[in-house]
Structure 1
Amino acid sequence: MLSISPIPAFNDNYIWHLQKDGEHWVVDPGDPEPVVKALRGDKLTGILITHHHFDHTGGIEKLYRLHQCPVYGPESVPGVTHPIAGGTSLQILDMPIQVLAVPGHTLDHLALVLNETTAADGEQIHLFCGDTLFSAGCGRLFEGTPEQMYLSLQKLSKLPPATFVYPAHEYTLANLRFAQTVEPENQAIATRVSQCKALRANDKPTLPSTIALELDTNPFLRCRYPEVRQAAAHSKADLFNENDEVDVFARLRGWKDNF
């Protein structure tokens, strides 16, 4: 049976640890030391990378030196042994992964969609989205355009609602504070704030999320809603087209950058 658990790293990163039948894979190991500790002497089977930022790739060199394991990720990432790109697929842990190109945070950003099928639960989908989709938020636009990021988020939002979402950072409460400012009357956001505060008070992660939960509480996936458009319109005095969802998204992202 597949087990997916977070390995905390740095101040707020999560390195996702996938285990099944004695195999171990990790997603975005920015720091090798917590991965070595989590393995408890077992061999690392492979590494998956979503994008080139160092807090996601800094552990590749040491982990590869220790385990000589394959490293799948964008061709732009030093240390990748098996380049992958949007539209390709791979097989790990006897399960298929679909690779999606999701530019915006970086131009090389990938999302990894793993399909798990079990006799008990049927199909379960797991999305490893790096810094593109966060719990109640999205990544900053370091390289891409607002349109690229908006389209990438729309692509992810069309995955089945029950899809589990595994971002690479524990940003949920900070993102929810912004979400409540955008939609103060959204009861789903208020409920989620209470739940996540309780989790963090007990030092538990707020992740994974689900696509359904993000559609209800993430302002960057709600640009078509009147309340979100009106909030974006009032966030600055300059003109913009509140009927254009990309413009609404760009306004929200700029507002969040200075929130």
Structure 2
Amino acid sequence: MTMPLEIITVPCLSDNYAFLLHSSGSGLTALVDAPEAAPIKAELEARGWGLDFVLLTHHHWDHIDGLEELRQTYSPTVVGAEADAHRLPPLDLAVKDGSVFSLSREDVQVIDVSGHTVGHIAFYFPESKAVFTADSLMALGCGRLFEGSPEQMWQSLSTLAALPADTVVYSGHEYTQSNGAFALTIEPDNPALQDRVVDIAKARAAGQTTVPSLLSLELATNPFLRAGHEAVKQAMGMKDVDSKQVFAEIRKRKDSF
């Protein structure tokens, strides 16, 4: 049995997150997404770590712009979606939904989470109980549908929702406070959501991050995961409507919130 990876949240740009994953046993370090190089290099240098792998979730500039500088400094193996390879930086390992590869003796499962973009992937580490979702499932939200359909995103979120409830969700942005304000317009009487919004306000006032979050908490409070719940359908006046249509309506309301 390998030890769970040590995972460090690295704030980047104005509201992005990158994540460093380190194995104390092997000394191997991986990075999920590369918004900008400077804070990532600073964290690596402070800890005396190298950089062996970079895992890219999707092609948007605020997830890849720091890669070239990191590549020049550390020469990591770069992993990304085969379907997105034409618009990602050059990949050393192209993966797809269902692919499994190994990092420091831990299997990493690749999940297609298209919706925000087509070709967006998530990286799931079952032993470390972690999933890196970037702009698919987010803390109290989900990514705007720039390329995919509501049906695609609902399928992606449903796949992520089926992971073990004690999985920790590492998403790509600090949007949680505004997401919480919107969530209350969908489920104002959800006590778990009310409590979470209070906790988020305290954390942000103290300068703390709200990412990562537990999947169980997302299942209890995130309106985009809860589109299939009868209470949500009832509250939205969509009692007998298919869940993916309810999801589409929630996403539409969030776009104009």
TM-score by length of 2: 0.92
Matches for 1:43-192 after TM superposition, within 5 Å = 43-75=50-82, 76=85, 77-116=88-127, 124-192=128-196
Give me the CA root mean square deviation.
1.5
Worse-superposed segment, 154-163 or 15-24: 15-24
Q: Which residue of 1 aligns with 2:12?
A: 9
Letter in structure 2 aligned against 1:78:
P
Partners of 1:173 and 1:244 in 2: CA distance: 28
Q: Which residue of 1 aligns with 2:44?
A: 39
Matches for 1:163-242 after TM superposition, within 5 Å = 163-233=167-237, 242=240
Percent of aligned pairs with the same residue? 41
CA shift for structure 1 position 17? 1.0
Residue 30 of structure 1 aligns to a residue whose secondary structure is coil
Structure 1 stretches of 4+ with a deviation exceeding 6 A read: none
- The yes-or-no answer on 1:249 pairing with 2:252 is no
Alignment deviations for residues 228-256 of structure 1 (CA, whole Å, 9 cap, x no partner): 224444xxxxxx88521111111110100
Q: Which residue of 2 aligns with 1:236?
A: none
Alignment deviations for residues 174-209 of structure 1 (CA, whole Å, 9 cap, x no partner): 111111111110000011111111211221111221
Partners of 1:224 and 1:102 in 2: CA distance: 18
> Structure 2 unaligned runs (5+)?
none
Contact 1:242 1:248 in 2 (8 A): no
Partners of 2:12 and 2:240 in 1: CA distance: 39
Paired positions, count? 246
Partners of 1:242 and 1:49 in 2: CA distance: 39
CA shift for structure 1 position 223? 1.0
CA shift for structure 1 position 66? 1.2
> Structure 1 unaligned runs (5+)?
117-123, 234-239
Worse-superposed segment, 35-44 or 167-176: 35-44
Partners of 1:212 and 1:62 in 2: CA distance: 37
Contact 1:86 1:110 in 2 (8 A): yes
Contact 1:60 1:79 in 2 (8 A): no
Residue 14 of structure 2 aligns to a residue whose secondary structure is coil
Partners of 1:220 and 1:44 in 2: CA distance: 35
Letter in structure 2 aligned against 1:38:
E
- The yes-or-no answer on 1:30 pairing with 2:35 is yes
Q: Which residue of 2 aligns with 1:121?
A: none
Partners of 1:112 and 1:89 in 2: CA distance: 10
Residue 159 of structure 2 aligns to a residue whose secondary structure is helix
Worse-superposed segment, 87-96 or 151-160: 87-96
Partners of 2:162 and 2:247 in 1: CA distance: 17
TM-score by length of 1: 0.91
Residue 173 of structure 2 aligns to a residue whose secondary structure is coil
Partners of 2:239 and 2:235 in 1: CA distance: 13
Contact 1:26 1:48 in 2 (8 A): yes
Partners of 2:211 and 2:184 in 1: CA distance: 19
